[in-house]
A and B are shown apart, each in its own frame.
Chain A
Amino acid sequence: MDFSFTEEQDKFRQEVWDFLEDETKKGYWEPTCDAWVQGFDPAFTKRVAHRGWIGLTWPREYGGQGRSHMDRLILTEEMLRYGAPAACHWFGDRQVGGAILSFGSEELKKEFLPRIVKGEAYFGLGMSEPGTGSDLASLQTRAIEDGDYYVINGQKTWTSCASFSEYFDIYARTDPEAPRHRGISEFIVDAKSPGVSRIPMIDITGTEAWNDVFFDNVRVHKRYLVGEKNRGFYQVLHQLDYERSGMERLMGNYPLFEGIIQFAKENRLSRNPVIRNKLAQLQIEFEVGRLLIYRVALVMEDGRAPNWESAMSKAYCTEFEKRLACVAMEILGPYGQLKLGSRFVPLRGMALHSYLGSKGYSLQAGTTEILKNILASRRLGLPSS
């Protein structure tokens, strides 16, 4: 066991710090909760790309840096610490690029990876459907072959970043006769294709968090099929392992964490033993979660997809985020309910935002219940229910 970072890793972290510190000093953006998924700032994404920090782990031949998963974890950890607006590139960088790299044709890799790396191709996900949540294999969106094309019809929902997405990575049924796990395929769909439309969904924080995305006879060329036809369900499981793997599940609200500690100190609330106790408990839980996520990165470093390991870290960490928001609200008392822009609002309304927003954290990318099922079967070998 070794819990240290290498000199290069420390140097890299410092480099990321310096960059982000400079960005905030210049007033380009303000640290914000959920900025990894709701902070759309194409110029920021461009500046990150310019540093070579998108697709960091990908091979050089596709524009990546061929660096380690630990480096990427360090990078994302610091982005989250600063609440940086990284939503434009987050999905492409975190999972779609990786999916293309793992399963896509050479042609697809050449078409998309260099553009994601340059911060020029933003992705949204099309997995869930109105009737399809945890039971992903029940999805109904159809893709029917027609010459060199597939014609896609159906509705996707809970698509984050959809207003900004230039492409969607979607899953559709290509063989309705086959057992349901074996008739699904993955496609990249240009968001500008005729027949694609979106309707925003406003979440309980008042943010446009998702979109419904509709596909009405959308023609997609066969070269945009990712991986093998009818293997999409297995590919999506792989992708979900990565979707759950990261530090955003622990640190999506880090600006609030830092903010509430500072607030307690400045207002002398931290002398109150109850408040000290609560904040220290959060700190303990935070440090523990961080270790669980580092383990996930080390699994990836070994060349394995993080399966039950990311199920464990994600299930644990989203519960931490909910508790963080609850503790912040308790400390702020009646002030906690004030919205950004209100007179007397503390911490730019972050506690309120997190309190409401975090209710969804344990639902997206696999509910906590599904994640515990994965732990039970994959980690512990318990029989299926």
Chain B
Amino acid sequence: MKLTLSEEQEMLRKTARDFLNDKCSKRFVKQMEESESGYSRDLWQEMAELGWMGLAFPGKYGGGDMSFLDLAVLLEEMGRACLSGPLFATVILGGLSILDIGSEAQKQEYLPKLIRGERVFTLALTEPGYHNYDASSVTVEAIRDDGNYVISGTKLFVPDAHIADYLLCAAKTKPRSGITIFLVDARNPRIKYTALKTMAGDKLCEVVFGQVPVPAANILGRLNQGRSAVQRIMQRAAVGKCCEMVGNMERVLEMTVDYTKERKQFDRPIGSFQVIQHYCADMATDVDSARFSTYQAAWMLSEGLPCTKEVAVAKAWVGQASQRVFALAHQIHGAIGVTVEHDLHYYTRRAKAAELAFGDADFYREVVAREMGL
């Protein structure tokens, strides 16, 4: 057992931090939030050149031959910097899913372009309705038609769909429980996109499939057997979001502690008041525990070990920890922290959005309950 990063991971972390300090100022973050696309093509290309998109893919597709655990380090740094854009969707939701269940031909076709930053992918899984997080709530149908499939229905909260080249769409292919994942050309004119106005300024879309024809060759994985694939996608996505939140929280803890050392009231830094010290101690405990539970799950995913429980523990815990950390961060920062003049709000909004994505604490508590045999 080892709970510290390897030398290579430390290096990756440092490179990422330096790069993002340079390129991803809060001004830039604000611009991205306000822009329609939500990302900068130039920065995207630079990230591809740094090998970020390809980090966790095998060398034979042009990837960096590193692991999901290494990717976790990168995601954490993106969380620290509040970097938005389609990397999460492209790599975690798209690329790693193709790597997991795609045919060799599909991998050869899609992964090199993805890794070079030439294609944006995303996942269309969630649908309108409440508490729809997993494959069991998929109702969008793909009807077989002369050897091909026709997809109709609405997907919701699809990240970066409006700029995507490909959508991985989970659709029903059998009346009861057969789910199949299709790789859909996102430029098909029968697909309509509406970007939603979101708290974090990230680009979540409503995606309406109006009888979109998809060739059978674009089935990803096995027909009717998509349920377990979706589960694994959800696991990677949930852990990926945890990494971002850990990055959010770590940075906010630093900002808060720094603030308590500088801010004076009654002629003393407020960090000398015991009540503030205890708030900060509570925050540190939540940050460390969030980090360990996240990395435990990321490590298990990396090793290909069954980790339903560990992923659930991480996403449930990190969500709760994040709520507490942000409540205290705001309390300690005082009124300036609830204005847009201070940077705290960038983190607050992002952490909350990440908490809501791919299953919240209630959802994963139930997963843990099942894993306990309750």
Contacts and interface: CB of A to CB of B under 8 A. Distances in A.
A288 B277 contact: no
Contacts of B298: 1
B369 A373 contact: no
A8 interface: no
B296 interface: yes
B269 interface: yes
Contact of B374 (A4, A265, A287, A294): A265
Contacts of B312: 284
B317 interface: yes
Interface in B108-161: none
B11 interface: no
A284 B316 contact: yes
A383 B276 CA distance: 11
A276 B69 CA distance: 31
A2 B4 CA distance: 8
Interface in A350-374: 369, 371-373
Contact of A276 (B260, B278, B299, B366): B366
Contacts of A312: 281, 284-285, 288
A384 interface: yes
Given A279-B369, A292-B289, A375 B284 contact: yes
Contacts of B292: 288, 291-292, 295
A93 B374 CA distance: 37
B257 A380 contact: yes
A102 interface: no
Nearest to A373: B277
Interface string A1-29: 11111000000000000000000000000
Contact of B69 (A1, A5, A277, A294): A1
B274 A385 contact: yes
Given A261-B372, A284-B365, A382-B260, A2 B299 contact: yes
Given A288-B317, A383-B261, A281 B5 contact: no
| SS of A interface (majority) | helix
A265 B373 CA distance: 8
Nearest to A4: B1
Contact of A385 (B4, B272, B285, B300): B272
B293 interface: yes
A289 to B, nearest CB: 8
A288 B6 CA distance: 22
A284 B69 contact: no
B147 to A, nearest CB: 45
Contacts of A2: 1-2, 299
A289 B372 CA distance: 17
Interface string B242-283: 000000000000000100110000000101111011101110
Interface in A300-318: 312, 315-316
Count chain B CB atoms within 10 A of each CB in A265, A276, A287, A315 and give the residue with the most: A287
Interface in B319-374: 362, 365-366, 368-369, 372-374
B313 interface: yes
Contact of A277 (B272, B295, B365): B365
B3 interface: yes
A121 interface: no
Given A1-B299, A276-B369, A385 B277 contact: yes
A280 B374 contact: yes
Interface of B: 1-6, 9, 69, 257, 260-261, 269, 271-274, 276-278, 280-282, 284-285, 288-289, 292-293, 295-296, 298-300, 303, 309-310, 312-313, 316-317, 362, 365-366, 368-369, 372-374
Interface of A: 1-5, 70, 261, 264-265, 270, 276-277, 279-281, 283-285, 287-289, 291-292, 294-295, 298, 312, 315-316, 369, 371-373, 375-377, 379-385
Closest 8 CB pairs of A and B: A376-B277, A375-B281, A372-B281, A270-B374, A291-B292, A280-B369, A280-B368, A280-B365
